[in-house]
Amino acid sequence: MTTRYTAKIMPLNEAVIGTSVSGKAELIEDGDTLKIKIEATGTPPNMMHWSHFHGFPDGTKGRVPTKDADTNGDGVIDLPELYAVAGQTMVPFDNAPQDINIPHDNYPHSDENGNWKYEFEVPLGELKKKFKEKFGSEDLQLDTRTVLIHGVPESVELPDTVEGTVKGYGPHTTLPIGAGEIEKV
């Protein structure tokens, strides 16, 4: 049985980063494999961009944050503010999503034009086993999750109020720049 999901990626924090991220994601559960394909334009060029699906373990539908998510009023939606709307980081779009190892340097890089692309076939059994260890269920509930792309260069000035340090990686790495709600098609 094949189940297909898509997400339209919308820009976040574009006024701060000086570019507007857009793109699309496709996730296909096909037998024992989860095929993931994500393409985005407008990402800061020539750099690594963390990317994941976020969600709530209880299955609450994750959303793309609006300006209202900026609860401290600093003009930036940072990682803690994102969590309140899109949920916590769950599965990385990296070189081994089934391991659910979030903070590291093995995420895709954008090219010199700010184009960013990710394609990977994930062993679904391994992913579901690890997902159950982390979140208590094997059910990925993809249609309740949100695709996120993160990261801006260190040269981008962020207000001191921007938070989002994860195991030594600071707010420049974790700043959300694009998001899309995953929908079943």
How does pLDDT run along the chain (185 residues), one tens digit per residue?
A: 899 999 999 999 999 999 999 999 999 999 999 999 999 999 999 999 999 999 999 999 999 999 999 999 999 999 999 999 999 999 999 999 999 999 999 999 999 999 999 999 999 999 999 999 999 999 999 999 999 999 999 999 999 999 999 999 999 999 999 999 999 99
Cite the DSSP H helix spans in the chain: 14-17, 79-86, 124-135, 171-174
Residue 138: closest CA among 91, 96, 172 = 91
Q: What pTM was estimated for this model as a whole?
A: 0.97
Classify 63 as helix, strand or coil.
coil
Instruction: Give the strand pairing for 51-55 and 146-150.
Output: antiparallel
